[in-house]
Amino acid sequence: PIYNNSIYTITSIYYNNTFKIYISYIILLYSPRGRLQYYIIKIRDFNIIDTKNTYIAGL
């Protein structure tokens, strides 16, 4: 596999009336063992029951 530090996965979850969107990617660390490092970053969340606008934006 080629690890170019690009984002390949977008994940979303709905829990406790909040819709959350995450991105994840893998970085190959330049070390003698060549370990992989996994990163998950939350990029956005929507409180679905807050207002009509946040409900629509979350859909």
Inside any domain, residue 1: no
How many domains is the chain built from? 1
SS3 labels along 3-34: CCCCCCEEEEEEECCEEEEEEEEEEECCCCCC
Inside any domain, residue 2: no
Inside any domain, residue 36: yes
pTM reported for the whole predicted model: 0.68
Count of alpha carbons within 13 Å of 25, Cβ hemisphere only?
13
pLDDT at residue number 31 = 65
What is the residue range of 15's domain? 9-58
Inside any domain, residue 4: no
Instruction: Please give the torsion angle defined by the CA atoms of residues 49, 54, 56 and 57, in that order, rounded to the nearest 10 degrees.
Output: -140
pLDDT at residue number 7 = 82
Inside any domain, residue 46: yes
pLDDT one-digit tens code per residue, 20-58: 999 998 887 776 677 788 889 999 888 888 788 877 876
State the Rg of the chain over Cα.
16
